[in-house]
Chain A
Amino acid sequence: MVKQLSVMVENSSGSLYPVLRALADENIDIQALTIADTERYGILRIIVDQTEKAMDTLKRNGYVAKVTDIVCITMKDKAGAFSEILKLLEDNSVGLEYVYVLGRTGDGNVRILLRADDNENAENLLAANGYRLAGEE
């Protein structure tokens, strides 16, 4: 599993900048980022290179944040690769909460991030089907 940071951000103009600025000022690098938006707030989800330091920084600045374990899968960077993974999960009744991309690995593969309703189950299933999973660095 990989550690993801979720932060609650007000959905109003200018509210995202201070969050990212605070992290940048501490020399924390963001490797992946996505936001789930609702009318009043957004859930900012990020993968950073220094999770604990980032958590401290955010808390100190008055943000509500939490660390969640999510699954990181290496798959072929080609059309249909993720659909296969999705089918595997669905056929085995593993639910998907959300998914986004971490980045290309440079050797024809890409790493994706995924939160399942049962992450451990998802990891076991994927490993049993030959997928490479990233653990904690």
Chain B
Amino acid sequence: MSLEQLRNLQSEKLVRQVRHAYERIGTFRKRMDELGLKPSDINGIDDIRRLPFVTKEDLRDAYPYGFLGVPRSECVRIHSTSGTTGRRVVAFYSRHDVDFWEDCCARAIVAAGGSKEDVCQISFGFGLFTGGAGLNGGSQKLGCMTVPMSSGNTERQIQFMTDLGTTILCCTPSYAAYLAESIRDRGVPKEALSLRIGIFGAEPWTEEMRRSIEKELGIHAYDIYGLTELSGPGVAFECEAQQGMHVNEDHFFVEIIDPDTGEPLPEGRQGELVFTSLDKEAFPLIRYRTRDICILSRKQCSCGRTFVRMSKPMGRTDDMLIIRGVNVFPSQIETVLLRSGYSSNYQILVDRVHNSDTFEILVEATEERFADTVSGMTRYERELVEALKTMLGISPAVHLVAPHSIERGEGKSVRVIDKRKLISDSQWKG
């Protein structure tokens, strides 16, 4: 559709969504009232900049039902993701919401070159995580023979790949690299595999990683982007050009803003990605700040699609890390440490060894947490690992260290040392 047709469609949907959110979501109505705005003041997407933002903290504070947009009996599913300090974020879905989300995922698979002739192996995690559910639904919608493997169980993953003739693999890029390594280690010849396409996301990955995985598995590898808050994967997807991801603009209105001032930035400028969910009924988010830093481009794409393209996220405005596919906020770790009798003198060390993320936390011991025996200290460490695992969903290695042994940079503590090279140095030209 032409840009004008798209804008008209988006305007129509925005007006309806603002009215819906105003009626159903207390936080949104309150913010609108504070700004002296009524839904009738919003007549189209040009008015979007007048609307208030929604942040992760808002969603965390609204736990659990504060942002539910339909009666619970109309809600058919939830998915969930981590909040910044431990309170989860719950995203709700009506039947209609699940339906169009799966359409978005189906589009992603088609853009990657898939069709109903394909055998699509879903090696994203299933459950509260949206990765597995989204691609599973999209794959079935498209009509692919769908293999819902979830992650892990590498032996069986490879067995089904060779026995069933999997042609499309959907998982995190680090798991794809790990699978490639396992295939090589088991001596499985390339001829035994039918893989053609990879659809990878849920964590940052570089062009270098893409080329490496493509070479190892003999596939074309495509990026997919999304957030639980907006449905899940499928908000944006790469096409055969592999030059950025097309945003499903009929369902999601995208803006780039200056993270400090909140002012919208023109196309081509780097800033924070903000999405408005035009169609979601059960979880209607208007101007949700993703904290991902990105550039948008409306330059013509060789694939012919006219939806705007976003670059791979280039960083975060906050300190969130993605470790083994899981969102980790240092503030969550601090919460656990303080609750467990430690101080906030800690350091997070992240690296990638053999395609797997390593995650260590150094914590300075305190008088209450100093045992006279090494086994006593080890017990304290184990207790911390358990507490952190409950909070984060993954287990770090915890090392207690002597006070003042964690290096402090000029004045400010160096809280995170991330040795993985996840953001490409190469500039995206759009």
Contacts and interface: CB of A to CB of B under 8 A. Distances in A.
A43 B404 CA distance: 15
A68 B372 contact: yes
Nearest to A117: B373
B80 interface: no
B413 to A, nearest CB: 16
Contact of A63 (B362, B374, B403): B403
Nearest to B362: A40
Interface string B357-377: 000001001110010111101
A49 B373 CA distance: 22
Interface stretch (B104-112, B246-254, B394-402): B394-402
Contacts of A66: 367, 370, 372
A10 B401 contact: yes
A10 B370 contact: no
A40 B400 CA distance: 8
Contact of B374 (A10, A43, A68): A43
A97 B373 contact: yes
Contacts of A65: 367, 370
B159 interface: no
Given A43-B374, A64-B370, 11 more contacts: A4-B372, A39-B399, A40-B400, A41-B365, A43-B372, A43-B377, A62-B404, A63-B403, A65-B367, A66-B367, A115-B372
Interface in A1-42: 4, 6, 8-10, 12, 15, 36, 38-41
Contacts of A9: 402
B47 to A, nearest CB: 57
B402 A41 contact: yes
A53 to B, nearest CB: 18
Contacts of A36: 373-374
Contacts of A41: 365, 377, 400-402, 405
Contacts of B401: 10, 40-41
A99 B152 CA distance: 46
A100 interface: no
Interface string B387-430: 00000000000011111110000000000000000000000000
A14 to B, nearest CB: 12
Given A10-B402, A10-B405, A41-B400, A64 B373 contact: no
B399 A8 contact: no
A97 B402 CA distance: 21
Contacts of B377: 38, 41, 43
A18 to B, nearest CB: 11
Contacts of A82: none
B331 to A, nearest CB: 25
Given A6-B372, A64-B366, A40 B403 contact: no
B372 A64 contact: no
A64 B405 contact: no
A111 interface: no
A26 to B, nearest CB: 20
A42 to B, nearest CB: 8
A90 to B, nearest CB: 18
B117 to A, nearest CB: 54
Contacts of A15: 402
21 contacts: A4-B372, A6-B372, A8-B365, A9-B402, A10-B404, A15-B402, A39-B399, A40-B399, A40-B400, A40-B402, A40-B405, A41-B405, A43-B374, A43-B377, A63-B403, A64-B365, A64-B403, A66-B372, A97-B372, A97-B375, A115-B372
A45 B405 contact: no
Contacts of A8: 365, 370, 402-403
